[in-house]
Structure 1
Amino acid sequence: MEPAQSEMSILPNGKSHDLAEEIFDDPEGATAESEEFLPTGGGKKPVRFTDFEGKTSFGMSVFNLGNAIMGSGILGLSFAMANTGILLFLFLLTAVALLSLYSVHLMLKSAGVVGIRAYEQLGQRAFGTPGKMAAGIAITLQNVGAMSSYLYIVKSEFPLVIQAFLKADDTSSEWYLNGNYLVVLVSVCIILPLALMKQIGYLGYTSGFSLSCMVFFLTAVIYKRFQIPCPFEDYTSNVTDVHTVSNISLVDHGHAYHNAHMDDDSHCGPRLFTINSQTAYTIPILAFAFVCHPEVLPIYTELRNPTQKRMQNVSNVSILIMYTMYFLAALFGYLTFYDKVESELLHTYSRIDPFDTLILCVRLAVLTAVTLTVPIVLFPVRRAIQQMVFPTSAFNWLRHVAIALIILTFINMLVIFAPNILGIFGIIGATSAPCLIFIFPAAFYIRIIPKDKEPMNSTPKIVAMAFAALGVLFMFMSLSFIIIDWTTGSSNAGGGH
C-alpha cells in the first residue's frame, strides 16, 4: 500500500472517507481504529484492540509508562557520570530524553493519521506483513531480554538480601537462599497474577508502588551522600569477622580515617567533563535509558479520552519524572564515591558496610521495583504474539492466560538453566532497541504520512531520516563495544535498560 493511499478508506456505503479528518472529528478514533484491522462486531459500535473503552486515568498512565522506562540501568548511571563528568552526562541525558520524546511524537503522529494504536499494525500499514513481523519480533526479543535481566537480578540479589537480613552463614543450604527457588516463587506469586490482568491500566497501582520504591532508593542515595566521608575505606577487607562490620559507624570514624589518609583524597572532587577509555561505553547505556516505546501504544489504547495531545502529555510527564530521578541518582551517587564508584552503585555501598540496614532495605526496594516492572513489559510481548499469530481473533481468556504462562515459563527456564544468556540478550538489545526507538518510528512515519501533506524533501521527513540514521549509528556502536568486550574478556559495557 502506498503511503498516499493510507489516509483513505472505502466505507460500507461506497463513499471515500479521509481517516485523518475522521480522527480529528472523533477524538476517540473508534471508527478509524477499526478500519481493516478490527472486527466491526456485526454492525455494532466498533471494538477496540482490548474490546473495551479506555478507562485508565492520566495519572495511572503516567505511572505505567514511568515504570516501563525505569529499569535496573539506574544503578549504573553514577558510573556513567564518573566516566563522562557532570556536564557531559547532563548534556547526553538531556539529548536522549529529547530524542525519546521526538520518537514518541513520530509514533503518535503516525498512529493518529491511520487510527491505529498497535506498534505491529503500524508496521503492517507502512510495509505490509514484513513490517508487522519485524516490529513484533523486535518487541518480543527486546522485552524478553529485559524480563530475563530483571529476573536474573532477582535470582542473584534476593538470596543475598535475605542472607544479610538473617545474618545467615554463606554455606547455608536453606531453600529460601536458593536463587532458583526464589525466582520461581516470585514469578508464580507476584508476576503471574499481575500478568493475567486483562488491561494494562490496572497495573497503574503496582507501577505507582514500584516508582515509590525507586523514590526510596533515590532518597537513600541522597542521604548517604552526607553520611559517607571521602576518601572511604573498604572496611570489609580489614575485619576478621565480617559480621562486626555492622557495628562500624562511618560517621564516627570518618574524621579519624580522613586524617589518616589525607594523601589519598585526590579523587575526592567532582569532574565536570571527563573523557577516558570508558566514556564511549556509557553512551549506549544512556541512549537506552528511556526505552518504553513498545508500551506507549498499549497505554495509549487504554487511556481515558484518548487523543494524540493527551498521550503526548503522558509521555512528557513520564520522561520528565524519570529524567529528574536519573540525574539526581547519578549525581549524588557520583558525589559520594567519585571515580571509585562501581558499575553497580549498590555494590559500592556494600563494600563499605555489607550489613547496613538502610542499604539492605534499598536493595529490597529495588528488587521489588524490578519485579513489578516485569508484568508491564510482558503485556507488549503478549500483544505482539497475538498480532503475529492471531491477528483477527477476538479476546480469549484461555489464550490470554496461556501466552502469559508460556512466556514466564520460558524466561524462568532461561534464568535458571542458562545464566549466561544475558550476553546473547546484550546483542539482541543492541539491535532491537535502536530499531524500536529510532529506526522503526522514523520509517513508519516516513511511509505513513502522505506525500501530499509532507513531501520527502520536507523538513519533518528529512529530520525523521536523520533520526533513523542515528539509530543505525547507535546500533553499530553498541554491537562494536559488545564484540570488543567479548574479544578482550572485559566487561566494560554495562547493561542499559
Structure 2
Amino acid sequence: MSFLGSSTRDAPGETGIGEPGSSESAPLLINGSAPVRVKGASFASSVFNMMNAIMGSGILGLAYSMASTGIVFFCILLTTVSTLASYSIHLLLKLCDQTGMNSYEDLGGRAFQKPGKALVGITIIIQNVGAMSSYLFILKSELPAAIQGFMEADGTGHAWYEDGRVVLIIVTLCVVVPLAMLTKIGFLGYSSSFAAFCVLYFVVVVVVKKWSIPCPLPQNVTTLSYSCQVSNSTDSECTPKLFIISSKSAFAIPTMAFSFLCHTSVLPIYCELDKPTKSKMQNVTNVSISLTFLLYLISAVFGYLTFYNHVESELLLSYDMYLPHDIMVMMVRLAILCSVLLTVPLIQFPARKSVTMLLFEGRPFSWVIHVTTTLFILGVVLLLAIFVPDIRQMFGVVGSTTSSCLLFVFPGTLYLKINNRSFRTFDCIGALILVVFGLIMGFLSLSVIVMSWTTTS
C-alpha cells in the first residue's frame, strides 16, 4: 500500500499547502502508523480543483497562439505540452511515494539540500506573481468594458469605471485582499466547480459566435450592419493556415506551458484526496488535463476561425469592435472575470507560503508577518498588472522561464538526482528528455521574445 493511503489529514487550523502555523514540511506517515481516518475530497471534487488550478487567463491567449502557429502545428504543440505536463506530474507523484514528502520545495531540498529548496521556492514565487499579474491584467482590460455594457453611456466620457486602473485597484482592495488574508484555503475549493462551468460557458459562446461575425471582417465599425464598410481583405485571409513559423510563434509554447502549469497545487490536492494513492491521483490528473485540453482546443479553434489573423492576444477584446453590446458576450465576460477574480487569492497562498518558508522558516505564526507578506506580494502584482502594456509579454516571459522550469526542468532534474541518475529505467530516460525539452524550449522562446522586443523598440 502507498504511504499516502495511511496518511493523516490536516488538523483543525492547518492548511493543505502548509501555511504558517501548519506542518507545511511534515512528511506523510509511513505504513505502520496509526492514522486518523477522515474522509477526504472525492474524485470529482479533486478533478474540479485540479482543473481550477490549471485553467486561468491562459485560455484567452490560445487563439492568438493558433494564429501564430497554424491549426495543425498548434494541435501538435498543445498535445505535446499537455502530455509532458501529465508525465511530469507522474514523476512528482512517484517522488512523493519514494521520499514521503508532500511539498515541491521539500523535494528540492531532498535533492539539493537548502539551495535546492530555495531555488524551487523562489521559482514558485516568481511564477505565481507572474500568474497573478496576468489575471489582474485581464481584470484591468475587461472590467471597464463589462461595467459599461450594463450602464448608461456617460456624456462626458470620463466616468470612473472607464479607467481600468481605478477599477482594478478598487477590486483588489475590496475582494482580493480580504480573501488573500485568510489563513485557510479549504473553502476556496468550493469555487472550483463554478469556475469550471464559467470556462465551459466561455467555450460555448466562442463556438456560437463563430457564425455571428462575417469574414472578411468589417473595418472601423461599432455594429454589424449591411451599411458597414468592409476591409480590403482577400479571400486568403479567410482561409485557415495549417503551419506558420515566425517570430510570433515563440509566444505559443510559453503560453501553452503557462496554461497547463498546476504543479504547485498538485501535492496539496494529492494529500486531500480521499483514500489517496498514486494511481488514483494520476487518474485525477489525466482526467483534469484531458478535459482542460478539450476546452482549450475548442476555444482556440473557433476563436481563430472567427478572427483569423486579426485575433487579439486576449481573445475577449476581439469581440468588442464587432459585437460591442451582445448580451452573450457581456455575460461570458462576467463569467471569466469571476473565475479569474477567485483564482488570484487562491494562487497567492503558495506564493506567500514560499516567502515565509524562505525568510521566516521555523518561526511561529505571526499576524504581522502574515499581513505584511500578503500586502507586499499583492502590491508587486498590482504594479505589474498596471504597467505591463501587453499580456503577451507576461505570458512569454513567465512561460519561457519559471513555467518551463516548474513544468519540465525541475520534475525531471529532481527525479534524476533522487534516483542517482540511473538510466536503467524508462522514467529516468523520460526525465532526461523532459529536462532537455524544457531547457531548449525555454531558451529558444525567451531568446526570440527578447529579439522581438529589440527589433520593435
TM (normalized to structure 1)? 0.79
Q: CA deviation at 1:429?
A: 4.4
AA aligned opposite 1:286: M
Are the equivalent residues in 2 in contact too, given 1:70–1:290 (CA < 8 A)?
yes
Are the equivalent residues in 2 in contact too, given 1:431–1:475 (CA < 8 A)?
yes
**Aligned counterparts of 2:77 and 2:329: Cα–Cα separation in 1:** 29
Q: Deviations over 1:419-457 (max 9, x none)?
A: 4597588545432111111111111111223x5xx8344
AA aligned opposite 1:436: L
CA spacing shift, 1:373–1:138, aligned 2, 3 Å: same
Which of 42, 56, 59 lines up with 2:44 in the alignment? 59
CA spacing shift, 1:78–1:425, aligned 2, 3 Å: closer
Q: CA deviation at 1:325?
A: 0.3
Please name the residue that 2:140 is paired with. Answer: 155
Could you list the runs of 5+ residues in structure 2 that have no partner in the other structure? 10-17
CA spacing shift, 1:349–1:35, aligned 2, 3 Å: closer
Are the equivalent residues in 2 in contact too, given 1:38–1:47 (CA < 8 A)?
no
CA spacing shift, 1:327–1:187, aligned 2, 3 Å: same
Greater mean alpha carbon deviation, residues 375-384 or residues 157-166: 157-166
Are the equivalent residues in 2 in contact too, given 1:455–1:461 (CA < 8 A)?
yes
Q: CA deviation at 1:344?
A: 2.6
CA spacing shift, 1:35–1:381, aligned 2, 3 Å: closer
**Aligned counterparts of 1:206 and 1:74: Cα–Cα separation in 2:** 18
Please name the residue that 1:344 is paired with. Answer: 314
Please name the residue that 1:486 is paired with. Answer: 453
SS at match of 2:320: helix
Q: Deviations over 1:35-90 (max 9, x none)?
A: 995399xxxx8999xxx967333323222221221122212222222333322221
Q: Deviations over 1:336-385 (max 9, x none)?
A: 22333333322222222323232222222222221111122112112212
**Aligned counterparts of 1:171 and 1:311: Cα–Cα separation in 2:** 56
Please name the residue that 1:123 is paired with. Answer: 108
Q: CA deviation at 1:104?
A: 0.3
Q: Deviations over 1:394-436 (max 9, x none)?
A: 66666555533442234234445x4459758854543211111
Are the equivalent residues in 2 in contact too, given 1:284–1:478 (CA < 8 A)?
yes
Are the equivalent residues in 2 in contact too, given 1:66–1:318 (CA < 8 A)?
yes
AA aligned opposite 1:460: D
Please name the residue that 2:149 is paired with. Answer: 164
Please name the residue that 1:108 is paired with. Answer: 93
CA spacing shift, 1:261–1:413, aligned 2, 3 Å: closer
CA spacing shift, 1:426–1:229, aligned 2, 3 Å: closer
**Aligned counterparts of 1:441 and 1:170: Cα–Cα separation in 2:** 56
Greater mean alpha carbon deviation, residues 468-477 or residues 225-234: 225-234
Does 1:185 pair with 2:152?
no
Please name the residue that 2:238 is paired with. Answer: 268
Alignment of 1:368-407 (within 5 A): 368-393=338-363, 399-407=369-377
**Aligned counterparts of 2:390 and 2:251: Cα–Cα separation in 1:** 21
Q: CA deviation at 1:295?
A: 1.5
Please name the residue that 2:14 is paired with. Answer: none
**Aligned counterparts of 1:102 and 1:207: Cα–Cα separation in 2:** 23
CA spacing shift, 1:424–1:288, aligned 2, 3 Å: closer
Please name the residue that 1:222 is paired with. Answer: 207
Are the equivalent residues in 1 in contact too, given 2:4–2:276 (CA < 8 A)?
no
Are the equivalent residues in 1 in contact too, given 2:3–2:100 (CA < 8 A)?
no
Are the equivalent residues in 2 in contact too, given 1:414–1:421 (CA < 8 A)?
no
Alignment of 1:357-436 (within 5 A): 357-393=327-363, 399-416=369-386, 418-419=387-388, 427-436=397-406
**Aligned counterparts of 1:415 and 1:348: Cα–Cα separation in 2:** 20
TM (normalized to structure 2)? 0.85
SS at match of 1:267: helix
**Aligned counterparts of 1:275 and 1:152: Cα–Cα separation in 2:** 28
Q: CA deviation at 1:126?
A: 0.7
Aligned residues: 442
